[in-house]
Amino acid sequence: MTSTPTSFYANLVVVTEALKRHYQLDTDKMLDEVGVDLQAAARGDQRVPFELVDRFWALAVEATGNPTIGLDVVEDMNPAVYRSLGVALLCSSTLRDFFNRFERFFAVISTLETTQFEDNREYASFSDHSQVDYSKATVGCHADAFAAFVVKFIRLVYKPDYSPLKIELAWTPPEEFHQKYHDWFDCKVEFGFDDSRVFIDKQDLDVELFGSNPDIAMQNDQLALSVLERMRKLDLPEQVYSKLIEFLPAGDCSREKVARSLAMSESAFQKKLKAAGTSYQQLLDETRTELAKLHLSEPDMSVDEVAYLLGFSDCSNFTRAFKRWLGVSPREYLSSH
């Protein structure tokens, strides 16, 4: 759905808590090492980009020496961390309703993968298809976590001892771990597929679930929809913001260059920003304003240096722009702060 694959911050909450509990790791240090500010993300609807998620999982595998930690982190997963979507899933009427909802709103949890619920004559299944190229160290973690996440949820809403018909995983773990998968899922587990897939007995699909509450499920569906809508609006501006930070010090941050770096024509770029309720110039001014205030707060940074870092050819142009943004000159701003 979004052009930059991201993961809901709650996924890392689940992972970090499990790593603390099972392996006594200093996950705050690990998050800092890969550049994830989990506390900042938890205060809003911020997302964690693919590169940081991939790096964190790789660091976790290295720290634990266990390539199958994708199973471990789901063990004590609490649906409450997924907010409205977690509640909606728990209140689903049937497994069919559950899987349809899961597929529809999976982007809230992650856009690193896409999911598909299939119910045909031969079988019913819920599958996961990767949208990114995971590193060798993490590809198994995500395959395992997806299948374990789905089965864990089914056990919460349907039967605590539920066993799928079969599991297919999009990687092959070392042979000494194979028994662990059969014990965890309590069914046949096969490895080495393109996608990960959980197979469900068709007879279970339409059994009413004990937590069924269509009204609460519908209310939380609306909340999940609003999250998806915010994601659609925020995604492109956030990408532009990142590109501007990258390009500004070199002095070349034209609209054409930013659009090209995002693989868009200039006209398509303008249209998408307009649909998101903003414009290139507005994002450029906002980015420069925030960076200017940040740099001016540094005691050893001169006004001339700040002008250069923001891509201005000379200090007088920067001063005029700064006055337009904040109503005062950079030096007046400094004296009042």
**Nearest alpha carbon to residue 150 among 140, 139, 162:** 162
CB of 258 closer than 8 Å to CB of 243 = yes
User: What single letter denotes the amino acid at residue 149?
Assistant: F
The topology (CATH level 3) of 6-212 is: H-NOX domain (3.90.1520)
How many angstroms separate the CA atoms of 198 and 185, rounded?
10
DSSP label at residue 208 = P
User: What single letter denotes the amino acid at residue 262?
Assistant: L
The single residue listed with the structure tokens 């720290």 is: 63
How many angstroms separate the CA atoms of 41 and 46, rounded?
5
Quick one: pLDDT at residue 178? 97
At 243 the three-state DSSP class reads: helix
At 148, list the tokens. Answer: 């374990």
What beta strand segments (E) does the chain contain?
A: 6-8, 47-49, 113-119, 124-130, 166-168, 188-190, 196-200
**Nearest alpha carbon to residue 83 among 170, 21, 26, 8:** 8
pLDDT per residue as tens digits for the range 295-329: 887 777 788 888 888 888 889 999 999 999 989 99
Quick one: pLDDT at residue 115? 96
Q: Where are the alpha helices (DSSP H) in 24-159?
A: 27-34, 38-42, 50-64, 69-72, 83-90, 95-109, 139-157
When pLDDT is cut at 50, 70 and 90, the band that residue 234 belongs to is: low
When pLDDT is cut at 50, 70 and 90, the band that residue 237 belongs to is: confident
Task: Using DSSP bridges, classify how beta strands 188-190 and 166-168 pair: parallel, antiparallel or unpaired.
Answer: parallel
Name every residue whose Cβ is closer than 8 Å to that of residue 265 and which is 6 or more positions away in sequence: 259
Domain ranges of the chain: 6-212, 232-336
pLDDT per residue as tens digits for the range 101-134: 999 999 889 989 999 999 988 889 999 999 889 9
How many angstroms separate the CA atoms of 142 and 113, rounded?
9
pLDDT per residue as tens digits for the range 35-88: 887 676 666 556 788 888 999 999 999 999 999 999 999 988 889 888 899 999
Count of other CB atoms within 10 angstroms of residue 16:
20
CB of 105 closer than 8 Å to CB of 226 = no
**Nearest alpha carbon to residue 145 among 123, 186, 113:** 113
pTM of the model: 0.69
| 2.60.120.620, 3.40.250.10, 3.40.50.261, 1.10.10.60: CATH of 232-336 | 1.10.10.60
Quick one: pLDDT at residue 110? 92
Output the average pLDDT for the chain.
88
How many angstroms separate the CA atoms of 145 and 73, rounded?
7
Task: Using DSSP bridges, classify how beta strands 196-200 and 124-130 pair: parallel, antiparallel or unpaired.
Answer: antiparallel
When pLDDT is cut at 50, 70 and 90, the band that residue 1 belongs to is: very low
**Nearest alpha carbon to residue 143 among 203, 93, 71:** 71
How many angstroms separate the CA atoms of 81 and 105, rounded?
15
Quick one: pLDDT at residue 236? 78
